[in-house]
Amino acid sequence: MRMRTSEPTLLWQATAGSIAGISQTVITCPMELIKTRAQLTSSSVLSCFRHLIRTEGSRGLYRGLTATIARDAPAFATYFSCFELILSLTKSSSSSPPSTLHLLLSGGTAGAMSWLVIYPVDVIKSRIQADMRYNSIRHCVRQSLTEEGFGVFMRGFAPTLVRAFPTNAATFAVVTWTLYSYERYYSGQHEVQDDENVLE
């Protein structure tokens, strides 16, 4: 028989999301760095990677790591806790599965909120990775403010938000329904096995 644990609190959801965000920066930081450089130079990913290793060494792959952590920890904390909060407020019953509409709205809103919280940090991270003249987060913030003002930290936010809502809506809906389907199948298998054991 399976043990059912109580639902995690929003604090635990946020904590788990934050830890997940920090953990995945080991992979995402080099990938985003190469993507950013490749987009700016119009070169292939492979040639950009080779040039980066040749000129900056393997440590160059993690340029902007601190800024990436500063972005992803609060982003994922907001992402998962916001999704669970909105879903719990819109569900008609705690035992019934949520409707697809509720999943889409909850996932889309969670994605949009996470970007709203961390977008200025993402701008700073991208600038540090793209421009070698910035040697720290503080230096990047100071130079950007001096040269372009506060508006620079929200530049490009509108298209990011337009992309974030449908992308995260679809992501959460598919993941949640896949998990529900698996649980239903898994629970059904165990019930059949338990009935067979009783008959024996």
Residue 93 has a pLDDT of: 56
Please give the Cα distance from 100 to 92 (Å, whole number): 13
Query: Is residue 195 classed exposed, middle or buried when 0-12, 13-18 and 19+ CB atoms within 10 A define those classes?
Result: exposed
Q: What was the pLDDT predicted at 186?
A: 72
User: Residue 192 pLDDT more than 50?
Assistant: no
- Relative orientation angle of helices 137-148 and 65-90, to the nearest 10 degrees: 80
pLDDT digits 0-9 by tens, 96-115: 677 888 889 999 999 999 99
Q: Is the pLDDT of residue 167 over 80?
A: yes
pLDDT tens string 10-56: 899 999 999 999 999 999 999 999 999 999 888 899 999 999 999 99
Confidence check: pLDDT of 180 > 90: no
Nearest to 67, CA basis, from 17, 151, 128: 128
For the chain, domains (ranges, CATH) are 10-189 (1.50.40.10)
Range of weakest confidence among 125-129, 166-170, 177-181: 177-181
pLDDT at 67: 96
Average pLDDT over residues 71-97: 83
